[in-house]
Amino acid sequence: MSKYDVIVLGSGPGGYVTAIRASQLGLKTAVVEKESLGGVCLNWGCIPTKALLKSAEVFNYLKHAEDYGLTVKEADKDFDAVVNRSRGVANGMSKGVQFLMKKNKIDVINGFGKVKAGKKVEVKDEEGNTKDYQADHIVIATGARSRELPNLPQDGEKVIGYREAMSLKKQPKKMIVVGSGAIGVEFAHFYNAMGTEVTIVEYLPNLVPLEDTDVSKEFEKSFKKAGIKVMTNASVESVDTSGDTVKAKVKTKKGEETIEADVVLSAVGIKTNIENIGLEDLGIKTDKDKIIVNEWYQTNVPGYYAIGDVTPGAALAHVASAEGILCVEKIKGMHVEALDYGNIPGCTYASPEIASVGMTEKQAKEAGYELKIGKFPFSASGKASASGKKEGFVKVIYDAKYGEWLGCHMIGAGVTDMIAEAVLGRKLETTGHEVLKAVHPHPTMSEAVMEATAAAYDEVIHL
């Protein structure tokens, strides 16, 4: 039986990063994967969606070329080619992980893995043959899939999840998106930009409900302006797929409404891949669909660990990777600090983009802080004007007493590339005064962080 120091089950951004770090630390490592290397993130999540969204952005530029003094005779799209480009990008990224596995001398074992007693992993290959592998440490990183609601069963054709949504053969004329988290609004924006008539249904009062309320409201305004029908405080009660189209019964505060579409995308969250992987046989504890771990990602059974989407916490690729790195560094006996889950950035790549870290205004108030809040609109930014992208703002939240940077919330073009400043600032425990005095380059969108901070301290220049 092959023996390893570390076997990782699943090769998503949690699993493959864990494996690389383990190998860097001199641990003999293998990764077990039942599909393509790279997990949801590279194959069916972060990367292919961003490729689709880039096509949407370019298409929007072409449609509005005259705004930039340019003439495009007839901007048109080839939906098939857009989808194929996205699949090509995903395949390329997966091959990149293959290269990294080789480079780091990590064994890739293809097949469905199951943890067993005695620190073993049983792998069943495509032909149904099984083989056992042994390791001192087994890291479960099997990720998650689209969650199905009982009243919204997915048939993969008329009621679909995110995998189908990024690989449809034919562009739907009308689409209903259920759920307005990051995944829902990214697809709503993409299909709307491609010319599909989109309705988005959100159960809570605001779109992107986890964001600061100011951001949610601004986002809703932009979505409506772009022609997306927004239904908040609304829920899809049932769907009828018996005809050529799909009819969704939507309950709103005003009563019930039936909406017809070609396709309903269910984007209501995720369901972890924890079934049939041996957890029950070993007595590994789970709660509310997640594997329970301590701050070093150890399960209740020694030698077995879990990281990424299968554990509690934000289901994000960068969280999965950070957890995996910490998990193996601790295994190796390094002195490491536990992850600060209060300083994880969240990004949404629709148009406008959203990026945030730390507390919302409501959370900071509820925590009892006295606040200094500053907001700088991109309508007052030179770079935003030059780019023709004046929507949105940066909002910063500081503790009035010590100047601690409690939260940063951004909405606008390219803000997902700007949020790392706030993450780093908060990690280094910077104060509002220091952010204000850190010279930001001109003209950039990032000046808005400095100006918003200046606004918080009544020193704003360009407002």
- Point out which residues bind ligand FAD (CB under 6 A): 9-15, 32-35, 39-41, 45-46, 49, 112-113, 141-144, 162, 183, 273, 277, 308-309, 315-318, 320
Q: Is 180 annotated as a binding residue?
A: yes
Our CB check for ligand FAD shows the closer of 211 and 451 to be 211
Q: Is 373 annotated as a binding residue?
A: no
The 8-class DSSP code of residue 25 comes to T
Residue 18 burial by Cβ neighbours in a 10 Å radius (0-12, 13-18, 19+): buried
**CB pairs under 8 A, 24+ apart, for 98-106?**
98/37, 100/16, 100/20, 101/16, 101/19, 101/31, 101/37, 104/19, 104/20, 104/23, 104/24, 104/29, 105/23, 106/19, 106/20, 106/23, 106/29, 106/30, 106/31
Give least dist CB 114 to ligand FAD, A: 6
442 given a catalytic annotation: yes
Q: Is 309 annotated as a binding residue?
A: yes
Give least dist CB 17 to ligand FAD, A: 8
Question: Cα(449)–Cα(455) distance, rounded to whole angstroms?
Answer: 10
Give least dist CB 78 to ligand FAD, A: 22
Our CB check for ligand FAD shows the closer of 11 and 232 to be 11
Selected catalytic residue, list 64, 433, 442, 462 = 442
Q: Is 186 annotated as a binding residue?
A: yes
Residue 19 burial by Cβ neighbours in a 10 Å radius (0-12, 13-18, 19+): buried
Give least dist CB 274 to ligand FAD, A: 9
Distance between terminal CA atoms of the chain? Answer: 69
Q: Is 197 annotated as a binding residue?
A: no
Q: Is 185 annotated as a binding residue?
A: yes
Please check whether residue 31 is in contact with residue 15, taking contact to mean a CB–CB distance below 8 angstroms: yes
Give least dist CB 50 to ligand FAD, A: 7
Please check whether residue 338 is in contact with residue 38, taking contact to mean a CB–CB distance below 8 angstroms: no
Q: Is 181 annotated as a binding residue?
A: yes
Q: Is 88 annotated as a binding residue?
A: no
Our CB check for ligand FAD shows the closer of 351 and 381 to be 351
Give least dist CB 34 to ligand FAD, A: 4
Closest CA to 178 of 273, 248, 244: 248
Is the Cα torsion angle 424, 428, 429, 433 positive or negative in sign?
negative
Our CB check for ligand FAD shows the closer of 13 and 374 to be 13
Closest CA to 163 of 56, 61, 52, 63: 52
Give least dist CB 446 to ligand FAD, A: 21
Question: Cα(184)–Cα(261) distance, rounded to whole angstroms?
Answer: 16
> Half-sphere exposure of residue 348, counting CA atoms within 13 Å on the CB side?
30
Question: What tokens appear for 155 in the block?
Answer: 């048939």
CA dihedral 425, 427, 428, 432 (to 10 degrees): 40
Our CB check for ligand FAD shows the closer of 353 and 421 to be 353
Residue 372 — left, alpha, or beta (φ > 0 → left; ψ -120 to 50 → alpha)?
beta
Q: Which residue is nearest to ligand FAD (CB)?
A: 143
Task: Please state, in angstroms and as integers, the Cα–Cα distance from residue 208 to each residue in 44, 204, 216, 308, 346, following that order.
Answer: 21, 9, 6, 22, 11
Our CB check for ligand FAD shows the closer of 344 and 380 to be 344
Q: Is 179 annotated as a binding residue?
A: yes
Our CB check for ligand FAD shows the closer of 31 and 259 to be 31
Q: Which residues are annotated as a binding site for FAD?
A: 50, 113, 309
Q: Which residues are annotated as a binding site for NAD(+)?
A: 179-186, 202, 269
User: Known catalytic residues?
Assistant: 442
Q: Which residues are annotated as a binding site?
A: 50, 113, 179-186, 202, 269, 309
